Amino acid sequence: MSLDGFVRCTCIRDGKAKPHPFPDRLIFDESGEPTLTGDPSEEEWEAHDQWLGESCEHEGFLLSLFLGNITRVQNLRSFLRHLQGSPGPRFPILLEKVLYDGTHTGDLLSSKVAAKLLKEVETVLHSSDILADSEKEFFNNMKQLCDASIATGNPIMF
């Protein structure tokens, strides 16, 4: 099992995608994912899913990055706990929303939270001389996800 992060592109929302087979029933959920209203049939869902995979050059996702497996997440949690200072945590979003579990899925962080998360990530990256290669990879990937979320207004999804 692994932890991956995703940010959807804005091609569909910006009108840059191929036409949808059911444009009058297309809406966006809280994650920015295009979905169908009403009670779609199995055939309509299949047509929607096929369209989604071919709707734009991004296939619906601006960024999709591997963040780590359960062992890396555990090591990163331990690293951050040792790095944070007193009197309180300097990395609450990283520890409570991102690295709380190495396999969580279906969670999302709004672009507003991503802006706050970016500050935590940049704090760690300022200490890059003490980071192992796998830690640098994780924090650089998180920075890319935060930047993409802020730029698009779409959440980071896990």
Averaged pLDDT score across all residues of the chain: 93
- Mean predicted confidence (pLDDT) in 49-75: 93
**Structure confidence by residue, pLDDT tens digits, 3-51:** 999 999 999 999 999 999 999 999 998 888 899 999 999 999 999 999 9
- Which pair of tokens denotes residue 124? 């760690």
**Structure confidence by residue, pLDDT tens digits, 93-104:** 999 999 998 778
pLDDT surpassing 70 at residue 69: yes
All residues at 6 or more sequence positions from 72 whose CB lies less than 8 Å from its CB, including other chains: 102, 134, 138
Amino acid at 23: P
**Structure confidence by residue, pLDDT tens digits, 4-14:** 999 999 999 99
pLDDT surpassing 80 at residue 86: no
- Strand-strand pairing, 2-8 and 26-28: unpaired
All residues at 6 or more sequence positions from 2 whose CB lies less than 8 Å from its CB, including other chains: 66, 67, 68, 69, 70, 102, 103
The C-alpha atoms of residue 6 and residue 112 are separated, in whole angstroms, by 16
Provide the whole-model pTM.
Answer: 0.89
pLDDT surpassing 70 at residue 88: no
